[in-house]
Structure 1
Amino acid sequence: MKKYIPIITSVVAALLISVTTVGIYHFTQQQESSLRQQYYRSEVATLESPHGMRKAIQQQKNDFILVDVRSAQEYEQEHIVGAVNIPVYRDPDTSAYDEEDRIVAEFQELIRNNPKKKIIIYCYSSSCMSGRKIANMLTNYGIYVKELGIGWNEWRYDWNMWNYPHEWEITDVEDYVYSGSEPGSYNNLSGLSESGCSLSKSFEC
């Protein structure tokens, strides 16, 4: 019997390792599933579709406020039509993160003047961290904003990248940008119907 003890011990050890491995595997799977779920819920809660935003501007919806957080200089040069400016940069090269009181006060005033409207911010590009930093800072004051899924550079210079192929010929970025210190408004300069179809080719849409 004694000669079988090492064999039995090895078998039991192997079984324990197998059971433990399976348990860890399933636990890891559950963790990964939970993390994925949290990630996508966070994405949906914090990001705004640029395509949806373009259509909302085109349809002149009034349930959101778009905020450009670039410098006042850059905003006045050109910005997404309808956007207001709460700059978190003193100039294109100098951040103003230390002006927290001013930034928070401007967002608070914006919310007071536009109750129940979504606040959506954008900065230079989709990889720009300014919007994320400001959004995170605002949460400390009970202010929750969404971030546009792209930044100014993609909106202005990569129009076809995020619009659908069938829209490339019937939309024009020039209709969705504005120059000056005022937000500006969408003027439908390209001759589009509210559905986004060319008025001259409405039966083809």
Structure 2
Amino acid sequence: METVRTEDSTTDTPDTEGRQSLILSGDAHLNTADPLTGAGSVSLDGDGDHLDSDGHQIDTDRSYTVTGQVRLREWAPDGTMALLSQGGDEADAFTLRYQGDQMLWEAVFAHDDTADPETTVLTAMSSGGSPQTFAVQYDQKAGEVRLFADGVLVDSAPYAAADAWDAYRALQVGRDSAGRGGAHHLDGDVDEVRTYAGVLSPDEIRALGRS
């Protein structure tokens, strides 16, 4: 998220070295004055702004790791705001969201693509207005989901292969529930969004947490 480009009324992050671009929507814009990492990050205002990948991003019925860096606009905002998600028709296979009433981050993994699915929920404490780097991980071989905060494993839980399903929609940054029109828009800055097919090691995730 160092730069953005605009072509044919579409603004996105350039797709370089085989990486997919992220398409900016609403008032999402590049922030070079106070970026989270490197020369730029993307600012969202919580009023419909979001980014989504240019096509299907990861197979959520197989092992994966998704990471992102975030800085909330306020120290302790109210409401619910999503950082990352990838959905199907009714549910998000996973969503990482902030719960303002508890000052917690939740990684929610749905067990099927229905309007009210059973879920597995992992939690991490919020650092308030300070930047945080998160990693959400599904390990198919171990039958487990994990949540890392700033490179540290903070929560994990069993998640059977029978519960995993492939969410066919694009990766969402700054909102969730895209299958139902989008919700829980983020008010803050995002950066360093990365997706991996497979399981990153704890050492690799720690290195990302220090970036």
The structure with the largest helix share of the pair is: 1
The structure with the largest alpha-carbon Rg is: 1
Query: What's the TM-score bracket when you normalise by the shorter of the two chains?
Result: under 0.3
Asked which structure has the greater RCO (Cα within 8 Å, sep 6+), the reply is 2
TM-score by length of 2: 0.25
TM-score of the aligned structures, taking structure 1 as reference length = 0.25
Name the structure with the higher strand share: 2
